[in-house]
Amino acid sequence: MSQKKLIYMLLFVLVVSVLYFIEKYQVPHSSTKETSSEVVDKTDVPDTQFLPTTTTGTIVKHYYYTLSYAEDHEQAEWVAYNLTKDQLSDNDFERPYFEIDPLVLTQSADWRNYRNSGYDRGHLCPAGDRRFSHEAYNETFLTSNISPMQHDFNSGIWNRLEQKVRSWAQKYDGVFVVTGGVLKPGLQTIGDEEVSVPEAFYKIILDADDGTYKVLAFLIPNQPSSNSFYDYTVTVDEIESLTGIDFFADLPDTLETRLESRVDSKAWGKR
């Protein structure tokens, strides 16, 4: 082989290798930095008295939500955040690419695990709850904030519940929200990194208004349903028994026991 052909061949191999690296390891970047014209209140980190315990020891605090990352399942066991009345917005931001969470030291799962899996990249902190700024919206597209959801579940009953939470935030001048999949050994997985597919998702909503507290919790199977989300109300105690998470450990014991042991849909306006 002539020296000239050898050089061309080596260049070809180099170009192919570079393109493969870009495809496998790089995600087109959409900046999460705020534009200079925007003023952002970065005081939305959830009240520490409401944060759940972690079973993984990995708490990650972002500006607009906090999470506990479960490396064994390549997703958060919970995501917690405040949703205030003044954060409700219909801003129509351009949807960014999903990005690996830089604050998860073990690295959150690559979005490509979901490709051709048959499952949505389902948000835990919904992008619709963070439309009040580009930075807050883009932050929901970190892969630590997603979990595999069946499409008709994600766009159906789960989406209807998310919309209802926003209406409660409007009605009660803000709520505290905790969301996650029920993670356990032996779940189906997707992708090279074996991202677990939860069989059910929970959402817990707390309203704390001038010392008056009320809680409503939901546990919904990860499958299509035309039922009302109210059909899936449960006690917080039930979710705790399934997940091993203590959700309101820092509240006084008597208050915690009362809130977590009963379902009171009427207090939230259901008749």
Q: What CATH number should be reported for the domain holding residue 72? A: 3.40.570.10
List residues bridging with 67 in a β-sheet: 60, 79
- Residue 33: Cβ within 10 Å count: 8
The domain containing residue 112 runs over which residues?
41-268
Asked, for residue 20, whether it belongs to a domain, the answer is no
List residues bridging with 221 in a β-sheet: 200
Domain count, the chain: 1
Is the pLDDT at 240 greater than 70? The verdict is yes
Residue 85, both tokens: 């009345």
Asked, for residue 100, whether it belongs to a domain, the answer is yes
Q: What is the pLDDT of residues 13-72, one digit of tens each?
A: 454 454 444 444 343 333 333 322 233 344 455 556 799 999 999 999 999 999 999 999
Q: What distance in Å separates the CA atoms of residue 10 and residue 164, rounded to the nearest whole number?
A: 59
Q: What's the one-letter identity of residue 142? A: L
Asked, for residue 27, whether it belongs to a domain, the answer is no
H helix runs in the chain, sequence order: 3-25, 134-139, 151-154, 157-171, 236-243, 253-260
Is 0.85 topped by the overall pTM?
A: no
Asked, for residue 25, whether it belongs to a domain, the answer is no
Q: What is the pLDDT of residue 30?
A: 36
Asked, for residue 21, whether it belongs to a domain, the answer is no
Asked, for residue 31, whether it belongs to a domain, the answer is no
Place of tokens 């972002």: 62
Calculate mean pLDDT across residues 185-196: 97
Asked, for residue 258, whether it belongs to a domain, the answer is yes
Residue 217, φ and ψ in degrees, nearest 5: -125, 145
Q: What distance in Å separates the CA atoms of residue 226 and residue 33, rounded to the nearest whole number?
A: 39
Asked, for residue 4, whether it belongs to a domain, the answer is no
